[in-house]
């Protein structure tokens, strides 16, 4: 009778699914019970009931959280989940996870370090020195800031200077409703939960007029604004 771990692979990405299939099959203490597309009907919930461990790709788990949150949380409470992710996906996963999930880091389009699977199942993650440096210095979020539009950069700077929406609107000549939308976008893109966290991040990383000693990135002036 088999006494090892029953493993389910849940991924829509064929290259990742095949890599996981290949690695799991060579480990005698693991039994692969199937490979599924977790976005199809209730396949994820039904198949997880037969597994001890589910290896799920980060984008698929995020999709399940977005579209079937309650069912997914219930399912993940009964099985050990290991999320296969890249460092670019890390903020999305760790800021949204409701249950304790193991994390198995892979390089973008690279191999899956299956030898670290047992570590991931226990809730740990092996992190390279360069990635640890990026995490400790907020490099991941700073990379996101590099993709911001001029409007978003300015609003981030104003938030960091502790300016309320009405004052930001008066300074930038934008409608207050537009400022409110931009504040929400900036907070969401940085994977933060509130305005205070965004303000602390901006101030700590020199992204405000006060900390940088320079004016915020100018927002295009609305015609007729004095």
pTM: 0.65
- Are 121 and 53 in contact by the 8 Å Cβ rule? The answer is yes
Would you state the pLDDT for residue 212?
A: 43
Interval 7-42: pLDDT, tens = 999 999 888 888 888 877 777 778 888 999 999 988
Find out whether 151 and 219 touch, Cβ atoms under 8 Å: yes
pLDDT band at residue 191 using 50, 70 and 90 as cut-offs: confident
Model confidence at 209, pLDDT cuts 50, 70, 90, reads low
User: What pLDDT is stored for residue 108 in this prediction?
Assistant: 62
**What pLDDT digit, counting tens, does each position of 31-86 carry?**
888 999 999 988 899 999 999 999 999 999 999 999 999 999 999 988 999 999 88
Using pLDDT thresholds of 50, 70 and 90, give the confidence band for residue 171.
Answer: confident
**Per-domain residue ranges for the chain?**
5-128, 141-212
∠ at Cα 79 (190, 53), nearest 5°?
A: 90
Q: Are 29 and 37 in contact (CB under 8 A)?
A: no
193 Rama sector, left if φ>0, alpha if ψ -120 to 50, beta otherwise: alpha
Q: What topology is assigned to 141-212 in CATH?
A: Arc Repressor Mutant, subunit A (1.10.10)
Query: What integer is the mean pLDDT of 92-107?
Result: 79
Q: How many Å is the Cα radius of gyration of the chain? A: 22
112-158 pLDDT tens trace: 777 778 788 887 777 777 777 766 668 888 989 999 999 999 999 99
Give the CATH number of domain 5-128.
Answer: 3.40.50.2300
Query: What's the CA dihedral at 109, 14, 89, 132 to 10 degrees?
Result: -50
Q: Helix 165-172 to helix 150-160 angle, to the nearest 10 degrees?
A: 130
Please give the pLDDT value at position 214. Answer: 43
66: tokens are 């977005």
**Cα-based distances in Å from 96 to 65, 128, 199:** 8, 23, 20
Contact 195, 179 (CB under 8 A): no
pLDDT for position 222: 45
Please tell me the predicted confidence (pLDDT) of residue 65.
Answer: 92
Task: Give the orientation angle of helix 176-189 with respect to helix 195-204, to 10 degrees.
Answer: 70
Asked if the model's pLDDT at residue 218 lies above 50, the reply is: no
**80-85 vs 102-105, strand pairing mode:** parallel
């Amino acid at each position: 009778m088999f006494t090892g771990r029953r493993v389910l692979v849940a991924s829509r990405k064929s290259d990742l699914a095949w890599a996981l299939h290949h690695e799991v099959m060579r480990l005698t203490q693991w039994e692969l019970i199937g490979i599924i597309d977790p976005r199809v009907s209730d396949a994820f919930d039904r198949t997880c009931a037969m597994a001890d461990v589910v290896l799920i790709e980060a984008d698929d788990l995020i999709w399940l959280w977005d579209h079937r949150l309650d069912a997914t949380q219930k399912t993940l409470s009964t099985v050990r989940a290991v999320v296969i992710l890249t460092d670019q996906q890390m903020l999305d996963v760790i800021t949204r996870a409701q249950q304790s999930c193991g994390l198995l880091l892979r390089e973008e389009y690279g191999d899956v370090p299956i030898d670290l699977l047992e570590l991931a199942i226990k809730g740990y993650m092996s992190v390279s020195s360069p990635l640890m440096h990026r995490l400790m210095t907020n490099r991941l979020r700073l990379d996101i800031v590099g993709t911001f539009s001029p409007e978003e950069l300015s609003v981030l700077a104003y938030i960091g200077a502790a300016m309320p929406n009405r004052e930001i609107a008066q300074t930038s000549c934008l409608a207050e409703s537009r400022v409110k939308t931009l504040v929400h976008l900036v907070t969401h893109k940085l994977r933060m939960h509130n305005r205070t966290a965004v303000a602390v991040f901006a101030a700590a990383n020199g992204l405000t007029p006060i900390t940088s000693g320079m004016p915020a990135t100018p927002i295009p002036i609305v015609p007729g604004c004095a």
